[in-house]
Every structure is written in C-alpha cells, then in structure tokens.
Chains A and B, each alone.
Chain A
Amino acid sequence: EIVLTQSPGTLSLSPGERATLSCRASQSVSNNFLAWYQQKPGQAPRLLIYVASSRATGIPDRFSGSGSGTDFTLTINRLEPEDFAVYYCQQYGTSPLTFGPGTKVDIK
C-alpha cells in the first residue's frame, strides 16, 4: 500500500498570501495519478487537481499542482476567504487507493 504523508499538518496564513502544501508518497505514484481535494466543514470533498497538475472543471487558476514520482505540491496563490479548508491528496495509480491525512489551512 502506498502511504501518503502531508505537510504541514496545519498552515496558518492570511488572505492574499500563498499556500504551499506538500504530499509525499512512500513509493512512486504510477502515471503521476495524484489528486487533490478540498473539504470545508460539513461538506463533501471537492476535486481540485488530477494527474498531479490538471485543474478540475470550474477550479480557479489560483490553484495549481506540481510534482512527480513521490513528491507533489499544491499551491494556492492569493488565498481567498473561501479557500480556508482541509486539503487531501489521493493516489489512484496503485490499488488500494489511498489518501493523505490532510493539511488544514486556517486563518492567521
């Protein structure tokens, strides 16, 4: 099983700042099948990024993904108030599908 580690656990930032979230895999993610999801309190997760760097439909371009192999990054430029949430990475290249533990982005 591929174990995903996300860092930091919590990121405290102000609106307008840049957030950089890390996701590290215990082994190489096949085909860079790495996705990022956003979850707000009381809501279901929402897909942001797939195949490491492709934005899902309707996702603002301030969200970007990068990386390959075992190291991946989600960057949120110019944080908006609605971006404060928990972010999960997921690998879907190897069964079983696995998620990271999440990074909470909260308001400083």
Chain B
Amino acid sequence: GESVGLHLPTLSVQEGDNSIINCAYSNSASDYFIWYKQESGKGPQFIIDIRSNMDKRQGQRVTVLLNKTVKHLSLQIAATQPGDSAVYFCAENIKGGGSNYKLTFGKGTLLTVNP
C-alpha cells in the first residue's frame, strides 16, 4: 500500500466550524512532513510543515499535529472559510542517503465548506 494515506477522502463542514484532516504514514524513517492545499487548476500551495522532532506546530488558523507513536499526522483549520475549500495533501519525506529529498504524497482529501 501507500506509505502516505488519508482516512477520509472527502470532508464537508459548515463555515465557521473547525476542520480536521487526517493522514497516516507507514514509514517510521520519515522525518519531515508537509501539508499542501490545492485549488482547482492550480499547483499545490504550501500550508505548513513539521519535522519529526516536533509534535505540534501552529500557523495562521492552522495547526499540524504529529503522533509518531501511531504514525499519524493531522491538519486542523480553525474557523473554516469558503476559501478553504480545496484538496489537501499530506506529504512525507523519508530521510535517505545523499541528497534525496523527494516527497511522497497521499491522494488527498477534498474539503468542502458550506456557507
């Protein structure tokens, strides 16, 4: 199976609610994780990242939580807005030899915010 996967392929929330998007990874050697937002017809947009020596990181309206024990990553969006509607991808980087830093992406979760 995939080294990175998402529990829910779709998520529908009401405007103003908090959203939680989950991601599971299987490779314990992964040391760097990124969340991206992708709107239709555009490239993925960086949201927030976290390294394996941390378990929580906060940005503007977003929080990423990393649970290395169960290999789980989540993205929390506070006060979700219609503009947050998009596909969200988590990506992991496996610490490898040399300069290999390619990311492995999950298939994404479609977040729909209802007004």
Q: Do A and B come from one complex?
A: no
Which residues of B are at the interface with A, using a C-beta cutoff of 8 A?
none
